Structure 1
């Protein structure tokens, strides 16, 4: 039996109501899912899956804006985020911000990769960090600070 049940506003003149699912209250822990009725290229504009894994299952939030434990979308926010703009504990995408940011373009995080990588451990063409690995780092390219427009000491 699935602890999540259908609820939400009734359908009106505007068509069917968005799918809103709320689960039982288990000691302050709740499961919640929202999926917007509007779609673009088959994806909902907003999809939110919220709650602990044992209540929601390991179900990803997929949409243009995706929020959840596992989020996949153009803008993805979650524990594991995959998308164009990924914000999360572990992020994978074009622009990433997170603990582990695996960016193709820009990565910002504790461990960051990307064409431009900024983080404690940064690996990329332009890498700024405590440990920078790449073609242009503070350790091997003194002109990098000038390129970034930051003040240099003479």
Structure 2
């Protein structure tokens, strides 16, 4: 699987990924030391982005399984301690990146945009991926509702 992912990403970089440099690293760690190993490796390589797999998998019926608590722990700790931006790759069972055709809309991706620095970086990264003619990108933007009851400030305590 590791070789398949590397080949797929390398094919994308070679075909339409101008400016992206791919370095594949392999390290063996326990769940307890994996966060530190990932962060040290990212810092040593001066990585600008760490991409981690989502800790849950999709079942055949579309529901998510309970997930791997070890990977959930690692993801949460890396998100808190990484020296660079972190992306969580959620694969909804498509896993067919090596079979993306050149026809439009053969692969769908989504980015949730709330407005922070990391969100802007994720959006820029997704924009690069969306340059491939077989990728359709959806951006979901959340805005604060200034009219909601929880956001109103009143000076009265009636």
Q: TM-score range by the shorter chain?
A: under 0.3
TM-score by length of structure 2 reads 0.23
Task: Point out the structure with the larger strand share.
Answer: 1
TM-score by length of structure 1 reads 0.23
Which structure: larger Rg?
Answer: 1
Task: Point out the structure with the larger helix share.
Answer: 2
